[in-house]
Amino acid sequence: MATRSWAEPYKIKAVELIKLTTPEQRKEAIREAGYNTFLLRSEDVYIDLLTDSGVGAMSDRQWAGMMTGDEAYAGSRNFYRMQETIETYYSYKYTVPTHQGRGAEHILSKMLISDGDYVPGNMYFTTTRLHQELAGGTFVDVIVDEAHDPVSDHPFKGNVDFAKLNALVEKVGADHIPYICVATCVNMAGGQPISLANLHELRSWCDQHKVLLVHDMTRVAENAYFIQQREEQYKEKSIREIVFEICSITDIATMSSKKDAMVNIGGFLAMNDPALYEQACALVVVYEGLHTYGGMAGRDMEALAIGITESVDDDHIRARVGQVEYLGEQLQRAGIPIVTPIGGHAVFLDARRLLPHIPQDRFPAQALAAALYLESGVRSMERGVVSAGRDKTTGENHMPELELVRLTIPRRVYTQAHMDVTAESVIQVAERAEEIQGLRFTYEPEVLRFFQARFEPV
Ligand code: F0G
């Protein structure tokens, strides 16, 4: 049978108008934003590829579900529906809602990390690592080396390297490792998946060392898609089955529902152990809200429950990742250096190779994101030295191997024509790459500096 190309498994019912700006307007806007795309006004953006977080388009069913919101302070019907959906699709028995992913990370870190502990993970994520550090822990990267190499074609760059994990146990002892945190479809590595073979091996390792296995499941459905495509024994399994298997071999999950589950706000901490659940309930009332809403409105919990069911649909995920690959392949054909394999939620431009004349301490990826905005009004995000921040003990900049600009595709929002315009603008910026100057800080916040930092051209 001939294979057909994918098309979106939906049609458009409502549209939001966007407008083009002039080069003069963009010049002024980016200068006012201190050359940081986080500080631009959304009105001044044409195609917004800053993030895939909270920017997806909800379905008509999700919008209809919003009307059934039960806004009771305690015991909202929508909470129970959400908890049941999480158990059905993700296997976890107990759910504590939070306002978004970092709310869950905060509670989890406070529950499990003591001063002097170490928390291994398959590459850091900005908010995840910060909450571990604020709780007294030290993050240790145990991802395979290939993840730090933008041109490696390893099919599972999100995998854990057991030699690194064993070396950590030897150095600090398993007693000082409360849990390992593994992300599915590792964001900072370029949206790269972990294999189920690696996860099963990790499960045994955790049992052997009595270390809990925590799952950052923010992009689990996208990871499941890559498993279906690349791991032989799963090619006949549905996305729903693979997602369930991934979740069921882990102990606890943190979720930013703003990504895979296609809601504008929300998150949760989920687990199977009733004693841990009790601890989480005691903390959520302090920082988020009562354990049956945790910072979410009833209507948002309903939309989330529906979003989960839509996110594991095979046609949905094929079109979703297909669109990301469509953009990535256009850039590859034009010889633009990007992270390969193409990730699940974004295409990552390699600023090191695009702007070899800018040293890393002059923030090449930050400068590239600003230049792309200037060119066409496409908004992207730095994922390099600015995002990596400073070492908590030495105060020196972390100097990551990956100095990237992320073109992040919101779910169900843009068309192929938007991807074409994006590719054209990147190609035009690349043609005049040598004109792009480095940047220096004019304001550097102490934590999570990438959000609010300001710069000027050097
Ligand atoms: N974990 C991962 C892997 C993430 O990508 C994010 C957010 C979080 C946790 C935190 O969740 O934002 O709901 O508090 N990532 C967004 C992004 C911000 O643009 O990549 P949150």
What CATH number does the domain containing 210 carry?
A: 3.40.640.10
Regarding whether 96 and 234 lie in a shared domain, the answer is: yes
- 15, burial (CB in 10 Å: exposed 0-12, middle 13-18, buried 19+): exposed
Examine residue 3 and state whether it is found in any structural domain, yes or no.
no
* Nearest-angstrom CA–CA distance, 338 and 326: 13
Q: Which residues pair with 268 in a beta bridge?
A: 97, 255
Regarding whether 144 and 27 lie in a shared domain, the answer is: no
Q: Which of the following is catalytic: 26, 320, 383, 406?
A: 383
Judge contact between 127 and 110, C-beta under 8 A. Answer: no
Q: Which of 99, 126, 184, 187 to mutate to test the pocket of ligand 1 (most atoms within 8 A of CB)?
A: 187
Last residue of a domain, one of 295, 311, 327: 311
Q: Which domain holds residue 117?
A: 60-311
Q: Give pLDDT tens digits for 188-230.
A: 999 999 999 999 999 999 999 999 999 999 999 999 999 999 9
95 lines ligand 1 (CB under 6 A): no
* Nearest-angstrom CA–CA distance, 29 and 141: 37
Domains held by the chain: number: 2
Q: Which residues pair with 160 in a beta bridge?
A: 143
Helix axes 162-172, 196-209, angle to 10 degrees: 20
Q: Which of the following is catalytic: 60, 73, 207, 333?
A: 73
Examine residue 5 and state whether it is found in any structural domain, yes or no.
no
| Nearest alpha carbon, ligand 1 atom 18 | 53
127 lines ligand 1 (CB under 6 A): yes
Regarding whether 171 and 156 lie in a shared domain, the answer is: yes
Q: Which of 107, 218, 348 to mutate to test the pocket of ligand 1 (most atoms within 8 A of CB)?
A: 218
216 lines ligand 1 (CB under 6 A): yes
| Predicted local distance difference test score (pLDDT) of residue 6 | 82
Regarding whether 186 and 95 lie in a shared domain, the answer is: yes
| Predicted local distance difference test score (pLDDT) of residue 3 | 74
Task: Look up residue 60 and give its two tokens.
Answer: 């008509």
Last residue of a domain, one of 284, 311, 338: 311
Angle at 228 between CA 153 and CA 418, to 5 degrees: 70
H or E stretch covering 270: strand 267-271
126 lines ligand 1 (CB under 6 A): no
Query: Residue range 124-143: average pLDDT?
Result: 97
* Nearest-angstrom CA–CA distance, 457 and 120: 37
Examine residue 2 and state whether it is found in any structural domain, yes or no.
no
Query: Residue range 236-255: average pLDDT?
Result: 98
Of 329, 325, 399, the C-alpha closest to 365 is 399
Task: Please tell me what DSSP assigns to residue 5.
Answer: P
The one-letter amino acid at 297: A
Q: Which of 50, 125, 452 to mutate to test the pocket of ligand 1 (most atoms within 8 A of CB)?
A: 125
Of 240, 249, 262, 268, the C-alpha closest to 194 is 249
| Residue 216 is among the residues annotated as catalytic for this protein | yes
Q: Which of 53, 143, 222 to mutate to test the pocket of ligand 1 (most atoms within 8 A of CB)?
A: 53
Regarding whether 453 and 357 lie in a shared domain, the answer is: yes
Task: Please tell me what DSSP assigns to residue 328.
Answer: H
The beta strand positions in 19-93, using DSSP E, are 47-48
Last residue of a domain, one of 311, 328, 356: 311
| Residue 125 is among the residues annotated as catalytic for this protein | yes
Regarding whether 263 and 117 lie in a shared domain, the answer is: yes
* Nearest-angstrom CA–CA distance, 79 and 84: 9
| Residue 98 is among the residues annotated as catalytic for this protein | no
| Nearest alpha carbon, ligand 1 atom 19 | 51
Of 123, 102, 105, 125, the C-alpha closest to 113 is 105
| Residue 210 is among the residues annotated as catalytic for this protein | no
Regarding whether 295 and 358 lie in a shared domain, the answer is: no
User: What is the position in ligand 1's atom list of the atom closest to the CA of 102?
Assistant: 14
| Residue 81 is among the residues annotated as catalytic for this protein | no
179 lines ligand 1 (CB under 6 A): no
Distance from Cα 267 to the centre of ligand 1, integer Å: 10
Query: Residue range 107-123: average pLDDT?
Result: 98
Judge contact between 350 and 190, C-beta under 8 A. Answer: no
450 lines ligand 1 (CB under 6 A): no
Query: Residue range 429-449: average pLDDT?
Result: 97
Q: Give pLDDT tens digits for 46-90.
A: 999 999 999 999 999 999 999 999 999 999 999 999 999 999 999
Examine residue 6 and state whether it is found in any structural domain, yes or no.
no
H or E stretch covering 23: helix 23-32
Examine residue 251 and state whether it is found in any structural domain, yes or no.
yes
Regarding whether 227 and 110 lie in a shared domain, the answer is: yes
Judge contact between 82 and 257, C-beta under 8 A. Answer: no
Q: Give pLDDT tens digits for 158-184.
A: 999 999 999 999 999 999 999 999 999
Examine residue 7 and state whether it is found in any structural domain, yes or no.
no
| Residue 128 is among the residues annotated as catalytic for this protein | no
Judge contact between 85 and 308, C-beta under 8 A. Answer: yes
Distance from Cα 187 to the centre of ligand 1, integer Å: 8
Backbone angles phi, psi at 213, to 5 degrees: -110, 110
* Edge-to-edge order in the sheet of strand 404-408: 346-350, 404-408, 381-383
- Residue 116, phi-psi category: left (phi > 0), alpha (psi -120 to 50), beta (remainder): left
| Predicted local distance difference test score (pLDDT) of residue 1 | 57
pLDDT band, very low/low/confident/very high, at 5 (cuts 50, 70, 90): confident
Question: Domain with 421 in it: what CATH number?
Answer: 3.90.1150.10
- What is the torsional sign of CA 65, 69, 75, 77? negative
Regarding whether 428 and 360 lie in a shared domain, the answer is: yes
User: What is the position in ligand 1's atom list of the atom closest to the CA of 258?
Assistant: 13
Residue with tokens 């071999």: 249
| Residue 73 is among the residues annotated as catalytic for this protein | yes
Q: Which of the following is catalytic: 85, 95, 126, 254?
A: 126
Examine residue 10 and state whether it is found in any structural domain, yes or no.
no
Query: Residue range 301-324: average pLDDT?
Result: 98
Which residues fall within 8 angstroms of residue 425, CB to CB, at 6 or more apart?
Answer: 372, 375, 376, 378
Regarding whether 361 and 416 lie in a shared domain, the answer is: yes
* Nearest-angstrom CA–CA distance, 157 and 146: 6
Of 66, 62, 134, 56, the C-alpha closest to 319 is 56
pLDDT band, very low/low/confident/very high, at 382 (cuts 50, 70, 90): very high
Examine residue 8 and state whether it is found in any structural domain, yes or no.
no
Of 150, 205, 219, 146, the C-alpha closest to 177 is 205
Regarding whether 38 and 97 lie in a shared domain, the answer is: no
pLDDT surpasses 70 at 398: yes
Query: Residue range 147-151: average pLDDT?
Result: 96
pTM of the predicted structure, to 2 decimals: 0.96
Of 113, 105, 112, the C-alpha closest to 131 is 105
Regarding whether 390 and 302 lie in a shared domain, the answer is: no
